Amino acid sequence: DTAVSQTPKYLVTQMGNDKSIKCEQNLGHDTMYWYKQDSKKFLKIMFSYNNKELIINETVPNRFSPKSPDKAHLNLHINSLELGDSAVYFCASSRGTNGANVLTFGAGSRLTVL
């Protein structure tokens, strides 16, 4: 029973297309995140949501639009894909904002833009 699940696992698409990645968590967490891992394996925060509300937008181009229909879901839609968007996108979740909040990751969605 996967705690944080992302779909699809792989995406290959042409420049200019629009694509979406879905994320769901069954841990009862109230905070969800999108992270981008580049080719050098560096993980960078993109967005964080708490109780469906956007909290962090870390200077991400507005071609990226996250949506949280409820606390258990956080989806990422990307318009007009560019070559530089190729990366692995990770969804994660945590409970609360105190010191005991373990961050739990999904398996990642590898996006390749041709």
Partner 1 sequence: KQEVTQIPAALSVPEGENLVLNCSFTDSAIYNLQWFRQDPGKGLTSLLLIQSSQREQTSGRLNASLDKSSGRSTLYIAASQPGDSATYLCAVYSGTYKYIFGTGTRLKVLA
User: Least distance in Å: CB of 38 to partner 1?
Assistant: 11
| Parallel/antiparallel/unpaired status of strands 64-70 and 109-113 | unpaired
Does residue 99 touch partner 1 according to CB under 8 A?
yes
Distance CA 51, CA 5 (A): 18
**For partner 1, the closer CB: 20 or 37:** 37
- Cis ω before 61 (30° cut-off from 0): no
User: Least distance in Å: CB of 35 to partner 1?
Assistant: 8
Does residue 89 touch partner 1 according to CB under 8 A?
no
- The 8-class DSSP code of residue 111 comes to E
User: Least distance in Å: CB of 95 to partner 1?
Assistant: 12
Of 26-85, which residues contact partner 1 (CB under 8 A)? 31, 33, 35, 41-45, 48, 50, 55-56, 58
Distance CA 82, CA 60 (A): 13
